[in-house]
Structure formats: structure tokens, C-alpha cells
Structure 1
Amino acid sequence: MSSHHFVKEQQEPAVLILDADQIRFEQLSPLLEWVPTVLVSEYALDRVLSWGIKIDVILASVSFQATNQQLLEEQYPVKFIAAEGELYLEAGLEFLLATDHKAAHLIGISHISAFDLGTKLDLITITLLDGDWKYYPVKSGEFKKWFPDSTIHIHGKEGMPLQVQNDNGELILPITYATMLEVPEGITSIKAPGIFWIGEQVYS
């Protein structure tokens, strides 16, 4: 048994990679520091393997599994999880819930798909990495955080009113498709009557 698998007790957020085309290894590297469970879809597999990352679960069609049995030995003790019709996200989240994971970083999913996660957000803490941006949900309707002088993206139901308060004053505005907000250095608080997502540019 490798040390990689010995330390796992589902404490660290899992890493679920659906598509690796828009991600660089240096963006992933900090997420792997504490040896999380790593799930990869068949489409992202070649790129992820080229980075030398140890994979725990491959989400793949039955036909892919049949023609790539050697991966079970090369990546031992990796396991295949069947995902037909490109339902990799659904299969990956179901696996994480079944194995009692509390949190996951999703990579290669557009923030526009955030609302497809639905009731899963009640069961597992999710962060999305979409290109150079990191998105996390605000489920309580109220959010407060210190930001550097920067621009954040607020993603939510079209037309939902937001109340924003920081050193620039107080602002009430409806969410639109791309609500970009300039925030000054310091605490910004945001309130809304429903769930919304905050996006921060974490890489440049």
C-alpha cells in the first residue's frame, strides 16, 4: 500500500477533474498538497497522467474501460467508475457522497453550470475552478470577506437583488449574466435572498 493511500480519510477536499484543457499543473499543485482523492474523466486522463499525478478513480465509459485495462495495473490501486453519456460530473459526485467526502474541488466545469449542481450543494462543499477563476457558493444568502483591491464576479439567478457594502459605500443592484464588481481592499459584505456564487481571479 502506498503512503498516498494510507493517509486518506476523506478529510481533504477531493479533486474531480472533468476537463484539463484550461488548467495548468501549477494551478492544481496546491490542491494536491494534502493527498486528496483524485477523480479524472476519461477525456482529461492523458493530460493529467502527463503531469505525474496519482489518480484514484477514472470516470469512463464501458468501452473505454474495456480498451484500457492496463491502467488498472499502471495506476494501481485505481478503480474505474462507469459514466455513460458524459455524465462524469454526476457519477463523480455520487461516488464522493457514497464514500463520505465532505468537500470537493471541481475542475473543468464552467461556472455557468454551477446551478446544475442543485441539491448536491446541500450534501457536499463544492469549489469550482474555471480557467483562472475560483468560484464558491454562498448558500446562507449572506457573505462577508476581506478582499484585496480587485474585481470579483457574482453569479446567481438573473435579476436577483444584491446588497453590497464595503468602504465604497452601500450598493443595491440586480444580478445580471456577468455581474463584475470592483471591490476595495478590506471587508465586503454581500446579501441576497437566494444562493449565489462568488468568483475570484486566483491566477493570472
Structure 2
Amino acid sequence: MSSHHFVKEQQEPALLILNTAGISFEQIAPLLEWVPTILVVQDEVPVVISWGVKIDLILAEMDFQKSHYHLLEEQYPVKFLGVQEENFLEEGLQYLIASKHGAVNIIGLDHLKVFELEPMLEFLDIVVWDGPIRYFPIKNGQFKKWLPATSLQLHAPEGTILEVQTPEGNEMVQVKHATFIEVEEGTTIIKGNGIFWIGEFMNT
């Protein structure tokens, strides 16, 4: 590893792996390019090791730590981060904030829980991967991006009104559970009051 990685380490988005169900190694491989800090929940450790990924921190309850002490040697320099009452997500995020990380990709979080993350957005840039869809928050009320023809999921509290501007024209969209919109190739602008999230299908 070249020395500049040590300087940049905390600037790269960390990887917090909560659940690997529905997630392939090919999906997360591009996220590993810059050698991010990798935190893994205890139950997912065997899968992540089988991917050949080096883990930095295992989020683990005391029983797991006692019965898997050998991992500290086998996966050196991995460490355990103690967790109680299965608060893996909260403990992982608190660790990243305390260690001055600026961003994190959370793998395997139910997208219906993203609203619970919003208090953390002041401290961390957060992207959530749920199966084939990657969700990212729009914090300043406006999303603007050139996109190929694709489907996007608009994710906000039920009943939220978002304005969608595409090359085809403007429309007001009321967000309900799993609101998808089709956008044509070109620049898409989405505006709303407050934070909202956009889900983008990731090609594996």
C-alpha cells in the first residue's frame, strides 16, 4: 500500500456491512478500490472473509468476541468493537464519527430505515445499499444530474411532494411507498422541501 493511502484513509467513504443478503461481491468491489475502513457485523464476517476482503473492525457482542477470539490473529490487525443489544448500526456510525470519517457506504440496510439516519447527515455523508438499489440523501432540497434513460425511486415520508424536471417536462410527484419514476436520457432535476432520498439501480 502506498503511503498516500495512510494520509487519505479517513477521506475515503468507509464501508459498514450489516447484511450481505441480496448483495454480491461484484456490487461492492468498486467501493474497495481506495482501501476504505471496513466495519462488518459479526454474523456477516464469514461471507466477507470468503470474498477475500480485509476487515478492519468487527462489530460484535461479548459472546461472539469470546468464541471468535481466533479472528484477531487470523485476520490481524482486525479489532472488535463491542456492541450491546444488537445496536450494530448505531455503534458503527458513532465509531466513524468519533474517528473523523466523513462518509460511509452502508451495505444491507432496509431502505425504509433511512429516515432514522438523517440526524447523522450533519456529520457523515451516507449512501445506503439495499439489494440492487443504492440510496443517497438530497440534503439541500435539489438534485441535478445527467442520467441515461433509467428508473429512479423517490423516497421520502409518505405524502411528500417533489417536483421532477426532465427533458420531457415538469411534473409534481406525491411520494407513496415505492414511488418509481422513469426518466429519459438527459439532465434530471428533482426539488423538494427538506431531505429526501433517491434510489438508483446499480448494474452488477
Q: Same fold (TM over 0.5)?
A: yes
Find the counterpart in structure 2 of residue 36 from structure 1.
36
Structure 2 residue runs without a partner (length 5+): none
1:88-147 superposed Cα distances (whole Å, 9 cap, x missing partner): 100100110011000000001011110111310111000111111111000111111111
Note the 1:98-117 alignment, pairs <5 A: 98-117=98-117
Find the counterpart in structure 1 of residue 160 from structure 2.
160
Task: Find the aligned partners of 1:100 and 1:184 in 2 and give their Cα distance.
Answer: 39
Find the counterpart in structure 1 of residue 26 from structure 2.
26
Tell me if structure 2 keeps the 8 A contact 1:4–1:35.
Answer: no
Q: Structure 1 163/6 Cα, relative in aligned 2: closer, same or farther at 3 Å? A: closer
TM-score by length of 2: 0.95
Shift of 1:160: 1.1
Task: Find the aligned partners of 2:55 and 2:4 in 1 and give their Cα distance.
Answer: 14
Shift of 1:203: 2.3
Shift of 1:194: 1.5
Task: Find the aligned partners of 2:66 and 2:2 in 1 and give their Cα distance.
Answer: 26
Find the counterpart in structure 2 of residue 173 from structure 1.
173
Find the counterpart in structure 2 of residue 193 from structure 1.
193
Tell me if structure 2 keeps the 8 A contact 1:21–1:44.
Answer: no
Count of aligned pairs between the two proteins: 202
Task: Find the aligned partners of 2:203 and 2:143 in 1 and give their Cα distance.
Answer: 22
Segments ≥4 residues shifted beyond 2 Å: 3-9
Partner amino acid for 1:185? E
Find the counterpart in structure 2 of residue 7 from structure 1.
5
Tell me if structure 2 keeps the 8 A contact 1:133–1:203.
Answer: no
Q: Which moved more, 1:20-29 or 1:33-42?
A: 20-29
Task: Find the aligned partners of 1:152 and 1:40 in 2 and give their Cα distance.
Answer: 28
Task: Find the aligned partners of 1:24 and 1:4 in 2 and give their Cα distance.
Answer: 28
1:59-103 superposed Cα distances (whole Å, 9 cap, x missing partner): 000110011111111111111001122111001001100110000
Structure 1 residue runs without a partner (length 5+): none
Task: Find the aligned partners of 2:93 and 2:3 in 1 and give their Cα distance.
Answer: 20
Two-structure CA RMSD over aligned residues (Å) = 1.4
Tell me if structure 2 keeps the 8 A contact 1:151–1:182.
Answer: yes
Find the counterpart in structure 2 of residue 94 from structure 1.
94
Tell me if structure 1 keeps the 8 A contact 2:21–2:131.
Answer: no
Partner SS for 2:137: strand
Partner SS for 1:72: helix
Tell me if structure 2 keeps the 8 A contact 1:13–1:102.
Answer: yes
Shift of 1:11: 1.5
Find the counterpart in structure 2 of residue 54 from structure 1.
54
Task: Find the aligned partners of 2:2 and 2:87 in 1 and give their Cα distance.
Answer: 27
Partner SS for 1:44: helix
Find the counterpart in structure 1 of residue 149 from structure 2.
149
Tell me if structure 1 keeps the 8 A contact 2:166–2:186.
Answer: yes
